């Protein structure tokens, strides 16, 4: 999940739910409230990086909130949402200090594009923690590659740390002070990926009420990460190749070409050569992107990383949970961590460490606290339900769960609220499950 925190203020409950879904599926950490008054309370309890607020609301409303923010949080960016008919008030709000506005109704991608423009880039993100010789030599190679401007293809199984490595390359490049923009090609519906990548002009398609720069433009002078590039359809691959060759982009519905100075990194957890051989990935694009291939081996191929990573993840989560004294793994717990095969790689290790932190009773984490099979975890709170996917579920059962969710979504015309009610799970759990489905490349209605 992104480290940036968003405050969403919208009095229309169903719209708020839909916006929240979009933001959470895009991995944003978000708190939602129904009025400006509640927003002010939330601002006293949390630190936010961006506020997205409706203008017309009962009480002091969006403009009252803007006024409050100007006085108490003048540096906090505010995005206002307003009905198309009342754009005049949004324009005056911009004069009052809002950074931008969204004209309702807008497509989910318009929201995500705007949000990604204003969220600050957190520089202190996870640095790769490595100890195994294989990983050390990979990092030193990555550092040397970072110094060049070559395109890099990062391969490795899911959860091995490909995005962490991509950020590392950016941070060690001459572009480190510029933007790092990541886009997950599998998570964005196919018909919106092109607009998200290349941007669009007002009126380019139904719902494009205002022009929006694409990810390439947002990454200008910096680095663009095309995550899971192998999931891009062949038609779009041809357009991407052209942009990379010409080093310029044209927004959808636009006539102007925009010169680009962007370094492109890409990841895939598939054997890209085999995908090329199967005719699902263009060979010319493969060679353009694959100037320098780097591969993170699976975690079980670099066992010396396991304990340092586990300790790092423990310290990270202890900090988030405000745990005063950091517990340690006892010897039996370490043995258990070292003997597992970690099919889910570092992401799986991260889940196990989080569970251990919740389950431990003293200053030491024992082997009993290391629950590898999540089915054994006693779920007591909604939070625990949200963060732990029952990994023990068989593949067949999981596939059935996905079918049920998709069918119920269709029956309820996409209303997450109704789906959650029908399936008897919390809206949070549904959101989490849908995010996991998106991660797996399953297309969901937006
Ligand atoms: N070497 C590392 N040091 C610190 N944290 C790591 C490391 N490798 C992975 N992680 C953490 O593990 C999680 C998964 O990593 P990441 O998202 O980079 O994997 P990925 O290979 O891109 O996965 P996917 O293919 O599923 O997108 C993240 O929370 C990341 O911060």
Domain harbouring 152, CATH code: 3.40.50.300
Question: Residue 403 belongs to a domain with what CATH number?
Answer: 1.10.10
Residues touching ligand 1 (Cβ under 6 Å) are 126, 128-130, 156, 158-164, 267, 269, 309, 312, 346-347, 350
Please write the tens of the pLDDT for every residue from 46-100: 889 999 999 889 999 998 999 999 899 988 999 989 876 566 666 777 777 777 8
Kindly give the number of the ligand 1 atom that is closest to the alpha carbon of 125.
31
Host domain of residue 15: 5-118
For residue 82, list its beta bridge partners.
Answer: 103
- The answer as to whether 126 is a domain residue is no
Structure tokens that stand for 58 in this block: 């009962």
Kindly give the number of the ligand 1 atom that is closest to the alpha carbon of 156.
21
> Which domain-ending residue is among 297, 314, 336?
297
- The answer as to whether 325 is a domain residue is yes
- The answer as to whether 123 is a domain residue is no
- How would residue 152 be classed by pLDDT, with cut points 50, 70 and 90? very high
Q: In this structure, are 144 and 66 located in the same domain? A: no
Q: In this structure, are 216 and 330 located in the same domain? A: no
- The answer as to whether 388 is a domain residue is no
- Ligand 1: distance of its center to the CA of 352 in Å? 14
Which residue CA neighbors atom 1 of ligand 1 most closely?
A: 128
Secondary element (H or E) of residue 112: helix 108-118
- The answer as to whether 288 is a domain residue is yes
Q: How many domains does the chain have?
A: 4
Q: In this structure, are 78 and 167 located in the same domain? A: no
Which residue CA neighbors atom 8 of ligand 1 most closely?
A: 161
Structure tokens that stand for 242 in this block: 């052209």
Which residue CA neighbors atom 16 of ligand 1 most closely?
A: 161
Task: Please count the other Cβ atoms lying within 10 Å of the Cβ belonging to residue 126.
Answer: 15
95 contacts: CB under 8 Å, gap ≥ 6: none
What pLDDT, on a 0 to 100 scale, did the predictor assign at position 373? 67
- Ligand 1: distance of its center to the CA of 350 in Å? 9
Please write the tens of the pLDDT for every residue from 6-33: 999 999 998 998 898 878 766 678 899 9
- Ligand 1: distance of its center to the CA of 203 in Å? 38
Please write the tens of the pLDDT for every residue from 367-378: 999 988 654 443
- The answer as to whether 378 is a domain residue is no
- Ligand 1: distance of its center to the CA of 112 in Å? 22
> Which domain-ending residue is among 297, 316, 340?
297
DSSP per-residue string spanning 65-86: HHHHHHHH-TTS-EEEEEEGGG
Which residue CA neighbors atom 13 of ligand 1 most closely?
A: 347
- The answer as to whether 379 is a domain residue is no
Q: In this structure, are 54 and 167 located in the same domain? A: no
Between strands 199-200 and 180-184, the pairing is unpaired
Q: Is 412 exposed, middle or buried (0-12, 13-18, 19+ CB in 10 A)?
A: middle
Q: In this structure, are 149 and 276 located in the same domain? A: yes
- Ligand 1: distance of its center to the CA of 162 in Å? 6
């Amino acid at each position: 999940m992104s480290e940036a925190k968003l405050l969403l203020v919208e009095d229309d409950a169903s719209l708020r739910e839909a916006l929240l879904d979009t933001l959470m599926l895009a991995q944003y950490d978000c708190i939602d409230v129904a009025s400006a008054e509640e927003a002010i309370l939330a601002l006293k309890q949390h630190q936010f990086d961006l506020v997205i607020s409706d203008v017309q609301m009962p009480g002091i409303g969006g403009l009252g909130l803007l006024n409050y923010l100007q006085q108490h949080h003048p540096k906090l960016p505010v995005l206002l949402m307003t009905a198309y008919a009342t754009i005049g008030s949004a324009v005056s709000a911009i004069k009052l200090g809002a950074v931008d506005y969204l004209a309702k109704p807008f497509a989910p991608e318009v929201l995500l594009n705007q949000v990604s423009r204003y969220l600050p880039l957190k520089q202190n993100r996870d640095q790769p923690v490595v100890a195994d010789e294989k990983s050390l030599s990979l990092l030193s190679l990555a550092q040397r590659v970072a110094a060049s401007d070559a395109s890099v293809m990062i391969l490795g199984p899911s959860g091995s740390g490909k995005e962490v490595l991509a950020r590392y390359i950016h941070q060690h490049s001459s572009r480190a002070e510029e933007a790092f923009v990541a886009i997950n090609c599998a998570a964005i519906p196919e018909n919106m990926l092109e607009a998200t990548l290349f941007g669009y002009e007002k009126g380019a398609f139904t719902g494009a009420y205002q022009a929006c720069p694409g990810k390439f433009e947002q990454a200008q002078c910096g680095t663009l990460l095309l995550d899971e590039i192998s999931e891009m359809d062949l038609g779009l691959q041809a357009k991407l190749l052209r942009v990379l060759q010409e080093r310029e982009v044209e927004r959808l519905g636009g006539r102007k070409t925009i010169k680009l100075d962007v370094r492109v990194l890409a990841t895939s957890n598939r054997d890209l050569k085999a995908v090329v051989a199967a005719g699902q990935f263009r060979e010319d694009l493969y060679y353009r992107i694959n100037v320098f291939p780097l591969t993170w081996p699976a975690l079980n191929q670099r066992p010396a990383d396991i304990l340092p990573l586990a300790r790092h993840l423990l310290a990270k989560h202890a900090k988030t949970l405000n745990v005063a004294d950091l517990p340690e793994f006892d010897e039996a717990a370490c043995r258990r961590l070292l003997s597992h095969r970690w099919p889910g790689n570092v992401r799986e290790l991260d889940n196990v460490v989080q569970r251990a932190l919740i389950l431990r009773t003293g200053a030491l984490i024992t082997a009993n606290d290391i629950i590898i099979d999540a089915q054994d975890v006693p779920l007591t709170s909604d939070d625990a339900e949200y963060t732990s996917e029952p990994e023990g579920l068989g593949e067949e059962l999981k596939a059935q769960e996905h079918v049920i969710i998709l069918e119920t979504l269709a029956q309820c015309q996409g209303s997450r609220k109704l789906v959650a009610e029908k399936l008897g799970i919390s809206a949070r759990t549904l959101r989490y499950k849908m995010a996991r489905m998106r991660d797996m490349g399953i297309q969901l209605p937006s």
